[in-house]
């Protein structure tokens, strides 16, 4: 499993956290998603043979959030 950490603009409410977590977790190949509300970060574990960081960051962008940066671990 590959790991992705996305740094977002400030999250303004807990419902944002739930929206992002639901959206990313529905993507094929995503094993787990954790949204760190206070740090405005999204951590995801995914199968690199099925999806990639660009697809996952696009999901977050499509939900209306700005991904400032991301790191693959």
9-55 pLDDT per residue, tens: 988 888 999 999 999 999 999 999 999 999 999 999 999 999 999 99
Domains located in the chain, CATH noted? 2-72 (3.30.70.100)
- pLDDT of 67 over the 90 cut: yes
Tell which wins on pLDDT, 73 or 27: 27
DSSP assignments along 10-56, one per residue = PP-SHHHHHHHHHHHHTSTTEEEEEEETTTTEEEEEE-TTT--HHHH
Q: Say how many residues make up the chain.
A: 73
Measure the CA dihedral 41/64/58/6, to 10°.
Answer: -10
Give the Cα separation of 25 and 23 in Å (integer). Answer: 6
Give the Cα separation of 38 and 30 in Å (integer). Answer: 23
């Amino acid at each position: 499993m590959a790991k992705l950490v996305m740094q977002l603009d400030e999250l303004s409410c807990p419902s944002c956290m739930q929206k992002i977590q639901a959206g990313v977790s529905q993507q094929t190949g995503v094993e787990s998603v954790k949204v760190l509300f206070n740090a405005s970060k999204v951590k995801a574990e995914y199968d690199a043979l099925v999806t990639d960081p660009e697809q996952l960051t696009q999901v977050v962008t499509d939900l209306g959030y700005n991904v400032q940066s991301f790191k693959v671990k």
